[in-house]
Structure 1
Amino acid sequence: MDAPYEPPIEPLTEDWKKDKASVIKLAETRTQASEYFKLVQAVELLFNRYAPGAVSRLGYPQRIGLSRKVHDELYPVAHFASLHYKSSEDVWIQWRSGSQRFDATVEDSRPVQQMPIIHFLEVTTLQDEQDAKKLQDLNVTGTLSFISSAPPSLVSHQRKVNLLREVLGKKAEINYPPNTALLVYADEHRFAQYCFGGPAPNIDREADYGKVLKEMRERLLAKFEAVYVYSREQIYCWLRKGEAEHGSS
């Protein structure tokens, strides 16, 4: 049986002003894809334990400060590592906390080189002010209210599709290092448990997100080696240089 994963954390003082640097250093540890999710869990655990009074420690974490990095960059990278790299021990990932034009680096030493060749990861999430407001409401009241004649999940999905088009348009205006993959993390299911009042509509996320990628294919592949839209459970669709069309899984 394999030994449990032990992140290389420095001794903590329980003084957050001092410990924050140690937690960030841990988050920046070069780690195998097979262990990356455990690393992120360790970072979140330490943050929740030692960051006093942080609203991101509440039941529905708000995206502020280091917590925003954890939930909007580290966890999306961890889910991508599991889905795309299949938790490989021959792929190493290192998150970077600075303001450079990528969020993580990738070292892929698998015997058979996979396409596309990715050296950098740029991460974005389909989040906007409405999502932030929902997190605040859940922390205050524990409930959500929806004002619409359409099913909440369908309204949310349509909003996410529009947000995807907006986010991709902004990313396509920026120059990134060669061999950068754009990761777009979609978390439509986050508020699903609060949606009541009828059967869930039939939503084809692969087709709807894929249509947006296809529309913007030329602009995106001029900037990125690949683009992936995914959740923690699956990769919905992608664009890759050298492929005629977008794919889905």
Structure 2
Amino acid sequence: MLQIVNPIITALLWAWISLPNTLWVAVGISLIGIVLLPRVKYQGVRSADDNAALPSFKMVVASVLKQPTVRKVFLLETLLGIFLVSEIVAIPYILVTGGFVTEKYLGLVQGIAGIGAVVGASVAFFKKTPNALKILRVTTISIGALYLILAFMFGITSKTVALVAVVVVSMVISLISTFASPISYTAMQTSLSEETRADVITWYYTIQEMVYPIGAALVSILMVGISPTKLYLLYGFMIILIGLVVMRGKQNA
């Protein structure tokens, strides 16, 4: 549901306070998350001495590097997060400035595209995944390929046809990414020991929060400097490269 609500909130904020200010709001929320998330596991911490028990970053790094499955999933999701932010930041900008849709209907359009997330989550819930890493490699490369397709959708002469095509492709991207998310989380969680699981997962979510402002800043710079086609060609190739490089080798998890 968050995949549907987030684009609508983004669109409303953009219409109310402009895109640059919306990005600053997002960055601020991310920074708050970065501060709070490492302490989620330790909600009962009261004394200064107990703060020393917060997750050790060095220990987390050692745990991640020691487990191939954890290392691959951690790195994959972190790198992907930088580029998938474009779905939230770049798509609204391109659709409005390109004349595909007015700001009035932007939230509705993004909400429709976000329905794919509900389908993806439902499929992931009911489908067994015996080889998580193999599935994650396929889903990552598939998302990259869809980004390449999306790049050419912006060049369609008819704005209506282009809008429908962009919404459909975005819906499929949302479906695949949401389908892959619980798979990656489960693969990483089941590969960790009970002693390190909570700390690694805590830092995993903290780093995902840190990735958002980085990805938002990157795509904000690129989307005003190059055409939508070039932007999504670049992102598509980068996502495919991430899938091939990070997930290379035997996929036995």
Q: What is the TM-score when the length of structure 2 is the normalising length?
A: 0.29
* Greater share of strand: 1
* Greater share of helix: 2
Q: What is the TM-score when the length of structure 1 is the normalising length?
A: 0.30
**Greater relative CO, 1 or 2 (CA 8 Å, sep 6+):** 2
